[in-house]
Amino acid sequence: MGKILSTSFKDSVEDITGLYSNLVNNPFYMFNDKSPTIVTYYNINTTYTSVDPGSKIEYDYVGKDSPIRYNKIKDFILFGFPKIELNNELGDFGLENDKIEVDVYIVPETIIPYEGDWFEVQHIKDSTWLFQVTDVQKDTLENGSNAYKLHAKLERQTNEEVQEKVVDNFQMIEVYNGTNIAQIVKCVDYEIASKMDRMAVRLKGYYNDIFFNPGVQTYTYEDLTSVRIYDPYMIEFLKRNDVLAHGEKFIHVTHQLPTQRTFSIDYDKTIFRFFEDKDKDITKSRFIIGAKAIEAYGTIFYSRYEAYYEAVYYPTFKKFFSYCVDEEILFNIVEHKLIKDIKDQNGNTPIWQNILVKYFWDEDITQEELDSINDIDFKYSKDAFYLIPLLIFCLEKDIDKVLGVTI
């Protein structure tokens, strides 16, 4: 690059400027110098609140006949709550305290605050400190989200009258970047999602314990003839969808064999791609597997004394082939057929299979179906090798659906 036409300095300045612009748009960046405080927040519910302007009832009125209604939000985070110092002065009526007022900040993309909202500081155990919002200032970031600064005064030391006006309960949750999960969700939805999440975490632990093979540093299983199988398409499914992420144990998932040039094309024909696309014509996918001996020099398999085979997917069934997932489950998905009273070999009704069916048909799973996962005989088998990741995948998609709706 020539001396006159060099743009390196300009590019560097633009990179730095862009960096700071991105930081400003980060909802937490503006609060990195402010300490967080957990509160219970009472946000005015504008749908159920009916204030007649002619009645001259103010939003700070929370008496018995108040028309104001609130959404109660547990574990709500405010930033910038100051250290409070009480100043006692001798007034006309004896010893008096100054009014306690605070300025605090709300994370963007959570709620729309209003004058007349209340919040209760949770970590004050000896008494109830109920602050009322008296002023709201809005600032719009470059990405279009709104940040709010609140001015509030300590007005009450009881929350009974405010509690009586609560019409809905919500929970603030921590959200991983890049998800569509809302930061404020209904408590009922939060409880449902928490149960599904706990089950998914448990299944991830089972999968790591049963199928991670430290000898080859990847996941393998044995078929009915005790042949050790490595499935690169399952590994790809685990990698693409972070199926085993956020479990109790971290294991890096990676391919242990070089993939073929047509691997991505072949992957799109497998059952895994049909799950990702929620394609109900799943019986058209390749879910029939055979195996070929692994003879790849220079790989971790080549250094092992025991033989390993690579899974290969085929469009039609032949001798010595098998199904990676029970064919009946796949036909139930196509036909939208739910299991109700069929018994398995252990005498249990495998209604956990309905989780897979309902995922494709956008239906909510029941607590009974979730609990039935406990009836599965988890063991070192082909069925468990394929079903556990698919169940985890469907559960986490359902969690995203449940938690994807906010106030």
Question: What pLDDT, in 10s, does the model give residues 326-335?
Answer: 889 999 999 9
Strands 70-79, 166-172: pairing is: parallel
Q: Work out the angle between the directed axes of helices 353-360 and 382-403 (0-180°, nearest 10).
A: 50
- Beta carbons of 115 and 80 less than 8 angstroms apart: no
**Range with the lowest mean pLDDT among 44-58, 104-118, 230-244, 359-373?**
44-58
Is pLDDT of 390 > 80? Answer: yes
**Range with the lowest mean pLDDT among 30-34, 149-153, 248-252?**
30-34
19 and 150 in one domain? Answer: yes
193 and 148 in one domain? Answer: no
103, amino acid identity:
D
How far apart are the C-alpha atoms of 29 and 176, rounded to whole Å? 16
- Residue 85 pLDDT: 60
- The tally of CA atoms less than 13 A away on the side-chain side of residue 380 is 16
Q: How many CB atoms lie within 10 A of CB 157?
A: 10
Of 171, 150, 158, 170, the closest CA to residue 107 belongs to: 150
381 pLDDT band, cuts 50/70/90, is confident
3-class secondary-structure state, position 219: strand
pLDDT tens digits, 175-192? 654 556 678 888 888 899
Is pLDDT of 93 > 90? Answer: no
Summarize the confidence of residues 118-127 as an average pLDDT.
76
Q: Which of 172, 206, 240 is the last residue of a domain?
A: 172
Summarize the confidence of residues 387-404 as an average pLDDT.
93
- The better pLDDT of the pair 98, 122 is held by 122
Of 97, 155, 98, the closest CA to residue 128 belongs to: 155
376 and 278 in one domain? Answer: yes
Q: Find the DSSP H helices in 114-231.
A: 160-163, 187-211
Q: How many CB atoms lie within 10 A of CB 249?
A: 10
Domain span at residue 132 reads 8-172
27 pLDDT band, cuts 50/70/90, is low
Query: Looking at the DSSP assignment, which residues form a beta bridge with residue 91?
Result: 94
Please enumerate in sequence order all residues whose Cβ is within 8 A of that of 353, keeping only pairs 6 or more positions apart, or say none. Answer: 329, 332, 339
pTM of the model: 0.77
Q: Which of 172, 197, 232 is the last residue of a domain?
A: 172
- Beta carbons of 160 and 62 less than 8 angstroms apart: no
Main-chain dihedrals φ then ψ at residue 37, nearest 5 degrees: -135, 130
- Residue 354 pLDDT: 95
How far apart are the C-alpha atoms of 109 and 356, rounded to whole Å? 32
Summarize the confidence of residues 241-247 as an average pLDDT.
92
Q: Tell me whether residue 133 is in a domain.
A: yes
- Residue 16 pLDDT: 44
Q: Tell me whether residue 1 is in a domain.
A: no
Summarize the confidence of residues 282-294 as an average pLDDT.
87
Q: Tell me whether residue 2 is in a domain.
A: no
Is pLDDT of 65 > 60? Answer: yes
Q: Tell me whether residue 182 is in a domain.
A: no
127 and 64 in one domain? Answer: yes
- Beta carbons of 77 and 172 less than 8 angstroms apart: yes
Q: Tell me whether residue 240 is in a domain.
A: yes
139 pLDDT band, cuts 50/70/90, is confident
- Beta carbons of 207 and 285 less than 8 angstroms apart: no
Is pLDDT of 29 > 70? Answer: no
- Beta carbons of 181 and 402 less than 8 angstroms apart: no
Of 62, 64, 65, 69, the closest CA to residue 47 belongs to: 69
123, amino acid identity:
H
Of 102, 109, 124, the closest CA to residue 38 belongs to: 124
Q: Report which secondary-structure segment, H or E, holds 224.
A: none
CA of 240: how far to CAs of 143, 234, 292, in Å? 28, 10, 24
How far apart are the C-alpha atoms of 315 and 263, rounded to whole Å? 16
- Residue 317 pLDDT: 74
Is pLDDT of 298 > 50? Answer: yes
- The better pLDDT of the pair 317, 275 is held by 275
88 and 220 in one domain? Answer: no
Number of domains in the chain: 2
Give the gyration radius of the chain's Cα atoms.
Answer: 29
Please enumerate in sequence order all residues whose Cβ is within 8 A of that of 297, keeping only pairs 6 or more positions apart, or say none. Answer: none
Q: Tell me whether residue 218 is in a domain.
A: yes
* Both structure tokens of 260: 């073929």
Summarize the confidence of residues 39-58 as an average pLDDT.
75
How far apart are the C-alpha atoms of 316 and 389, rounded to whole Å? 24
Q: Which of 172, 206, 230 is the last residue of a domain?
A: 172
- Residue 110 pLDDT: 85
6 pLDDT band, cuts 50/70/90, is very low
- Residue 7 pLDDT: 47
Q: Tell me whether residue 385 is in a domain.
A: yes
Q: Tell me whether residue 310 is in a domain.
A: yes
404 pLDDT band, cuts 50/70/90, is confident
- Residue 59 pLDDT: 56
Summary mean pLDDT of the chain: 82
Which of 249-253, 273-277, 288-292, 402-406: highest mean pLDDT? 273-277
How far apart are the C-alpha atoms of 217 and 301, rounded to whole Å? 10
- Residue 223 pLDDT: 84
369 and 226 in one domain? Answer: yes
- The better pLDDT of the pair 66, 399 is held by 399
Please enumerate in sequence order all residues whose Cβ is within 8 A of that of 224, keeping only pairs 6 or more positions apart, or say none. Answer: 322, 382
241 and 133 in one domain? Answer: no
Is pLDDT of 140 > 90? Answer: no
